[in-house]
Chains A and B, each alone.
Chain A
Amino acid sequence: MRLLTLTAALALTAGVAHADLVFPSLDYRTGPYAPNGIPFADGYADYFTLLNERDGGIGGVEARVLPCETGYNTEKGVECYEATKGEGSLIYQPLSTGITYQLIPKATADNIPVHSMGYGRTSAANGEVFPWVFNYPGTYWDAASIIVKHIIDQEGGDVSDKKIALVYHNSAYGKEPIRTLEKLSEKHGFDLQLLAVDHPGQEQKSTWLQVRRERPDYVVMWGWGVMNQVAIQEAASIRFPMDKFIGVWWSASENDTRPAGVAANGYKAITMHGVGDDFAIYDDLKTHVYDKGLSAGAGDQHGTVLYNRGMQAAMLAAEAARTAQEIHGVTEITPTMMRDGMEALKITDARLEELGLAGFMPTFSVSCDNHAAPGLGAIQQWDASNQTWSLITDFVAADREIVDPLIEEDATAYAQEVGITPGCM
């Protein structure tokens, strides 16, 4: 055994430091959530391949993606973090609630930024308490608020006599929107009903019988993995109107809607980026990546929701690295410089146009007091006959009046618990 571990140690030191920008990718291409992990990881890797092939990297320095398989397992996530952090890793995308919560204190101590894009700890939006953690372009609490806004729009501005049910995965992730929704229900007067579904969520009959008994006007879902597919299927079998069933952005992929077939037609979900492959960047990807046979994975995920999200994560990381290069005037940046780049990140329409991503996402700029800018989201809807998603609203803002105090409260509690004095770096 000792001999074997020695080999392990040797293997670890085998990676030689190049002059490149290292972007570790904590993939989960195996395990129960692999169907969601694969497209994200493919998109993340393909975008960097594109930069290397087309532009020769970022600011002339090659980007290197360092994949490490976590299987969505927190222990493996920690192993991956420890194994890759020594290689000059610039930024971590932990890709799971559990891994994010573990990396927040560790990465902060190691001075490596964490980008939990639309997941993880919502109160990390407060850059004074969490200087090393970023969750732009939006948080779960933004999402909850935007979904309710959409419902208010649908109802012509008044929801005081309506009932909204939240069907959620019984875990830290699933419980995220509860407080926001409670505050919103106080403000707008709708009835809120909470329905938990136990992990993994293959059997939800009684949950949906409760939906039938309570007759909510809308159902909001915070689901993950197999729970999504079954929920959509069950909603269809109680004939719940699909256009009144709205999922969070992790219950919003083709994987979730396809198994239910035509019954899923009209299902809605919130998104933080554009859908489909109708963006100029896909032409570049085709010439420089796909046609050269450089696609990550099996190369069959192009244009799916989660592939786009992986690409968006990579784009934001690359833009932050570019910003960091500009700020510090060096091309080979360190994680600390990367953090500065992330906090000074500005995404403008002109830049999106240049990247071939015009209209892909709203413009925004990050600042120390708002690591979750812009907090916008749009609603997408599933068309079962064409098997495509399409955006049906513009990107709208969350109700800051509700969300900001909640973030403040949670961030302050965290600061007290672990003894942090808030302040910008």
Chain B
Amino acid sequence: MTDVTGAPSPVSRIAAAVNALSTPAKALIGVAIVAVAFGFGSGLMLDVFFWEVFITGLLAGVMYALVALGFVLIFKASGIFNFAQGVLALFAALTLVGFQTGQIPFAHLINAIFGTKVHHFSDTGLPDVFAILATLLVMIALAWAVVHYIFQPLVNQPPIILFMATIGLAFVLEGTGDLMWGANVKVLDVGLPQGPSDTIIDATGMFLDKLELSAAVVAVVLVTVLTLFSQYTKMGRALRAVADDHQAALSVGISLQTIWWIVWSVAGIVALVAGMMWGAKSGVQFSLSLIALKALPVLMLGGFTSIPGAIVGGLIIGVGEKLFEFYIGPSIGGATENWFAYMLALLFLLFRPQGLFGEKIIERV
């Protein structure tokens, strides 16, 4: 058994020292380094904007983490890098709005074929609660179909093939979503508060968006529920068993297919939550599927296999890219957030190739 790092160098010695710490400690150190470097390095800590940028970054990070969570769930349970997660969020949000406003699915297609003029099954649509429940059912049914028709026939294929299959799935969902619900920008309103919070402005002078604050609350609840689910329920234990070792799990009588179905359903639900949060901000439209690209650096940094990793990774990326764009961006032309997030993640990876919280990669010859 050989470690990947090879001969000890100063870099790897630092890396080893960092590795010896517990993971949350490391993450906190990471955040602290970023903050301190920016803060004390230039005396910015006293600037009110520094703290506002910092907190805004944390909140944006939560939004990224919401998307990243879906990736992690599926990767952990099945080793599938699910490229379709962004499209899944779009599909879920589209379905939700469709039910809310009472649209008839595939109306455009039906009209084109039969020459009819159908648009809505009701003027008011379903009440929010029923719309959300109906969407959940759709996501669970979709999860079943995906597992049954795509991933069961592909059991034991190399990861890149599974990855490719999720891209095929993304194509299918993209086309279906648009065809089902139409391509216009839809307003999503599930009663989430929006706009800046006056209380916070009065108290601190910071403009924090109520939507993002509620997203943070939702994320905390979601992670807590997921953790409780995986720690304390029978199903959750089976899930973790599968994540640890497929073969061993199979041998003690856990049905791989059922577990995968549950995982994809949970990922679908997480996608719905992410889609709701992002959709409330920008309206529900095709571009929603691109939020996946915001989640990839988070995954890289946090590790593909860790739920806390997704959260901490999101926070680091959020804070890092906001601070960089705010203080350094203007001098190099701005619009740096996209690549900076990846560069930041890359920097972390050079020290920890499996991400902050990822399972240590052990290679055997």
Contacts and interface: CB of A to CB of B under 8 A. Distances in A.
A258 interface: yes
Interface in B259-317: 278, 281-283, 285-288, 290-291, 294
Interface string A64-108: 000000000000000000000000000000000000000000000
A385 interface: no
A207 B338 CA distance: 13
Nearest to B278: A202
A212 B201 CA distance: 13
B287 A225 contact: yes
A210 B337 CA distance: 14
Given A170-B335, A263-B194, A202 B187 contact: no
Contact of A206 (B63, B119, B325): B325
Interface in A284-316: 293, 298, 300
Contacts of A158: none
Interface string A205-229: 1110110110000000000011001
Given A209-B53, A226-B282, A202 B183 contact: no
Interface in A241-281: 255, 258-259, 261, 263
A230 interface: yes
- Range of interface residues on chain B? 35 or more
Interface stretch (B22-30, B326-334, B348-356): B326-334
Interface stretch (A24-32, A145-153, A403-411, A416-424): A24-32
Contacts of A32: 285-287, 290
Interface in B183-213: 183-185, 187-189, 194-196, 207, 209
Contacts of B79: none
A237 interface: yes
Contact of A259 (B187, B195, B337): B187
Contact of A202 (B117, B178, B282, B336): B282
Contacts of B56: 205-206, 209
Nearest to A233: B281
B182 interface: yes
B185 A237 contact: no
Interface stretch (A124-132, A189-197, A349-357, A365-373): A189-197
Contact of A200 (B178, B189, B287, B329): B287
Contacts of B52: 209
A393 B360 CA distance: 65
A197 B333 CA distance: 10
Contacts of B165: none
Contact of B183 (A30, A205, A212, A261): A30
B348 to A, nearest CB: 20
Contact of B335 (A197, A236, A237, A258): A197
A45 to B, nearest CB: 14
A51 interface: no
B130 interface: no
B326 A210 contact: yes
A34 B283 contact: no
B286 A34 contact: yes
B96 to A, nearest CB: 15
A19 interface: no
Contacts of A255: 184-185, 283
Contact of B285 (A35, A198, A209, A239): A35
B185 A198 contact: no
Contact of B182 (A213, A237, A298): A298
A210 B285 CA distance: 27
B229 interface: no
Contacts of B63: 203
A335 B28 CA distance: 67
Nearest to A34: B183
A238 interface: yes
A58 interface: no
A238 B196 contact: yes
A258 B207 contact: no
10 contacts: A35-B285, A202-B291, A205-B56, A207-B325, A210-B330, A213-B326, A230-B281, A237-B209, A239-B207, A259-B281
Given A196-B333, A226-B287, A263-B194, 15 more contacts: A32-B286, A202-B278, A203-B337, A206-B321, A207-B334, A213-B49, A213-B326, A230-B281, A233-B282, A237-B207, A255-B283, A259-B283, A298-B107, A298-B111, A298-B119
Nearest 9 interchain pairs by C-beta:
A259-B283, A196-B335, A226-B287, A34-B183, A196-B334, A198-B335, A206-B325, A170-B335, A255-B185
Interface of A: 29-32, 34-35, 38, 170, 194-200, 202-203, 205-207, 209-210, 212-213, 225-226, 229-230, 233, 236-239, 255, 258-259, 261, 263, 293, 298, 300
